[in-house]
Amino acid sequence: MPQPKLRMTKLPEPRTLGILAGGGPLPAQVARAAQAAGRKVFLVGFEGFADKAQLAPFSHEMIRLGAAGSILSALRREGVQDLVLIGPVRRPSMLDLRPDGEGMKIVGRIGRAAFSGDDGLLAAVVRVLGEEGFRILGAHEILSEAVGPKGLLTKIGPDAQAQADIDRAIAVTKALGAVDVGQGCVVQMGVVLAVEAIEGTDAMLARAKGLARPGVGGVLVKLVKPGQDRRADLPTIGPDTIIGCVDAGLRGLAFEAGGTLFTDRDAMIKAADHAGLFVIGVDPK
């Protein structure tokens, strides 16, 4: 009897990943991880924010933030289906943004969220991009190894005073996040030295340096905002954060486990151990 012919099922091609890239090393890290998983990647680097040298090894285009028409055209030309938004971008004024025609339409669709906190704005941007036909992913879904785990990561852990400061900072940071202000706070011996707003973590740490009181150093806490869409603007820490903590005279930092991205885990922990700082992942709940 003739043998039946085997039918080969063609596996679907991996979906093309687009990366809307702000500053820092994470956009390139996401691109490398996606390529290692067999994905085609295309990056749109925002002019004035993205690091051209970091994006150079990948298919990319540098585009002005307000040129929404050019951004959408480039993504569609490259067959992008999934999108990741990653890397810090300083919120521009409408004068600096100079939106093109498509950008003006998107601003209209975003509505009042354009004038709300960062989380409200980003949630609206994610919604509009979804309406344009893209599936929005979180960087943590591509770069799972960069997500900070729960527990102590350094040789030194927090003592009783540092733990009390962590608890106080968690309460303050959750309150800040609930009104969409910031993701971080510095507390020293129960006193709130600084809270993070639009200036970002590095600037907050620099400000805290001049406010420190005599006695043991304080702590930095970074958390996801309550109810935040985790597909955009997750808290990010790395070696530069440790440098900022050391310069501010802090004793360590605590981050939200499962919701914080590391730019370079090994270098960060090495720097913390060298400086005698603790780094610990916490569950704010």
- Would you place residue 224 in the very low, low, confident or very high pLDDT band (cuts 50, 70, 90)? very high
- Would you place residue 136 in the very low, low, confident or very high pLDDT band (cuts 50, 70, 90)? very high
Q: What DSSP letter does each residue of 53-104 carry, written as one string?
A: HHHTTSSEEEE-TT-HHHHHHHHHHTT--EEEEES--PPPPHHHH---HHHH
Residue 65 confidence (pLDDT): 87
- Would you place residue 124 in the very low, low, confident or very high pLDDT band (cuts 50, 70, 90)? confident
Instruction: Read off the pLDDT of each residue in 50-54 and give the average, rounded to a whole number.
Output: 95
Measure the CA–CA gap between 17 and 40, rounded to whole angstroms.
6
Res 7 pLDDT > 70 = no
Residue 133 confidence (pLDDT): 93
Residue 113 confidence (pLDDT): 67
Res 91 pLDDT > 70 = yes
Q: How many CA atoms lie within 13 A of 160 on its CB side?
A: 0
Res 1 pLDDT > 70 = no
Instruction: Read off the pLDDT of each residue in 80-102 and give the average, rounded to a whole number.
Output: 84
Residue 83 confidence (pLDDT): 95
Residue 64 confidence (pLDDT): 92
Please state the φ and ψ torsions of residue 210, each to the nearest 5 degrees.
-80, 0
The answer to which of 128-137, 158-167, 272-281 has the lowest mean pLDDT is 128-137
Domains within the chain, CATH numbers bracketed:
17-142 (3.40.50.20), 148-282 (3.40.140.80)
Percent of the chain with pLDDT over 70: 92
Order across the sheet with 60-63: list the strands: 60-63, 41-46, 17-21, 82-86, 135-137
Instruction: Read off the pLDDT of each residue in 192-213 and give the average, rounded to a whole number.
Output: 93
**Which pTM was predicted?**
0.86
**Dmax (CA) of the chain:** 92
Measure the CA–CA gap between 158 and 195, rounded to whole angstroms.
21
Measure the CA–CA gap between 228 and 275, rounded to whole angstroms.
33
Computed over every residue of the chain, the mean pLDDT equals: 90
Measure the CA–CA gap between 219 and 229, rounded to whole angstroms.
26
